[in-house]
Amino acid sequence: MEGTITAPASRAHCEIGRRVRRLSAWADRRLFILFIAPGFVCLSAVIFYPAIYNLVVSFTDASLVYPSTSFVGIDNYSDTVADPAFWRAALITLLWTSLSVAGQLLVGLLGALALEHVTAGRAALRLALVVPWAFPSIVLAFDWRFMLDPLYGVANHLLMLLGLIDAPAAWLSQRPTALPVLVLMNVWFGFPFMMVSLIAGLAAIPREQYEAAMVDGANFWQEFRFITLPGLARIMATLVILRTIWVFNNFEFVFLTTGGGPVDATTTLPIYAFNIGWIGYDLGRMAAVAVLMMAMLSLILAIYFRVLRAAEAAP
């Protein structure tokens, strides 16, 4: 009698146990969702939602001034693409980005290599060279404006003392000098990040490689060409990608120094977008410009990644 009662109970227990195990296995396989969920929610809130909202707004005539908004199809895109100022701004943005990133990388690399050979006061020197990176860009932009001011600026004073110029120049309001000066400022501002990262990269290159090269009689340039540069290639690629994204989208440095002028000589795409949205109050078109900027940046990075992959695949 007991047996007849126990057997089904035991089967039921086994069945429950199997179900619990299946459930926990199912839960185990999906546990990653639990860990990913908070990050995904945060990303959705700060990236996906604004990006999708921006895309939606780009098809409307949303304005900072007028409360009503209506759907305008692709008008904002066609108006933007038809505007010669947009293409000028795109060209200036490419120049500004490529020259700034190249300059930052070059100066950062030189700084990192130089610091490698410094033995005394290395930490203090490294700290001093990182100073530009440590200050808010508004402070740096105004510092540069004052230094370059045609009336008060120390830059003109020194250049006149050295006999390099006859009279004070308005560096930021002349077409030939405005963009180069901005690039110079940006190189100065951005090179410490490159330098610190490359110093870390240099430390990761095995010393044995240099010792072997020395035994083989390699000179500095051969060491640099065949050991240092390949050793830093990956970190340099990452740095260039990161800085390209940051500089391409940089707004405050240009805005606080030249505001995009003289005329349109330093009007980059972020300044162009700002002028349309916050000065012209046309949020819909500003959103369209932002979408086009994202497409351009994606294209640039896609080309860059393709070149990188090709370089890595090469023997």
Partner 1 sequence: MSWDDALQAAVATTKAPAHFGWILKLSKGDTGGGYLLWMLARSANASLYDAEGNVTLDSPGVKDAVRYMVELAKRASGPGALEYKISDNFSLVNSGRTSLTEDSAAIVAAAAADSPAVAEQLDATFMPRRERVGNLMAGISVALPKGQNAEDGRRLAAFLFAEENYIPFLHTIPLFMFPALKRADNPVFYAQPTIARFRNVVDVTLKGLESASLPGMEHGINPYAAQIFNTHIIEDMFQRILVDNQPVDTAIGTAASAMTTVIRDTKRRLGKA
Positions in the binding site for partner 1 (CB under 8 A): 61, 63, 65-66, 68, 145, 149-152, 167-170, 172-175, 255, 259-263, 265, 275, 279-282
CB of 77 to partner 1, least distance (A): 17
- Given the complex with partner 1, which of 80 and 244 has the nearer CB atom? 80
- Given the complex with partner 1, which of 112 and 265 has the nearer CB atom? 265
CB of 247 to partner 1, least distance (A): 21
- Given the complex with partner 1, which of 184 and 241 has the nearer CB atom? 184
Any residues with CB less than 8 A from the CB of 155 and at least 6 apart, and which?
Answer: 147, 148, 171
CB of 55 to partner 1, least distance (A): 23
- Given the complex with partner 1, which of 170 and 237 has the nearer CB atom? 170
CB of 89 to partner 1, least distance (A): 14
Return phi, psi of residue 251, to 5°: -115, -45
CB of 285 to partner 1, least distance (A): 11
> 262: cis peptide before it, omega within 30°?
yes
Distance from chain centroid for Cα 165 = 36
Return phi, psi of residue 63, to 5°: -140, 155
Closest CA to 252 of 238, 268, 264, 237: 268
CB count, 10 Å around CB of 73? 9
- Given the complex with partner 1, which of 129 and 178 has the nearer CB atom? 178
CB of 163 to partner 1, least distance (A): 15
CB of 99 to partner 1, least distance (A): 21
Alpha-carbon gap, residue 14 to 149, rounded angstroms: 85
Any residues with CB less than 8 A from the CB of 190 and at least 6 apart, and which?
Answer: 100, 101, 104, 108, 132, 133, 243, 246, 247
- Given the complex with partner 1, which of 82 and 310 has the nearer CB atom? 82
CB of 58 to partner 1, least distance (A): 17
- Given the complex with partner 1, which of 210 and 281 has the nearer CB atom? 281
- Given the complex with partner 1, which of 137 and 197 has the nearer CB atom? 137
B/e letters for 50-59, b = 16+ CB within 10 Å, e = fewer, are: eeeebeebbb
Say what angle helices 84-116 and 283-313 make with each other, to 10 degrees: 50
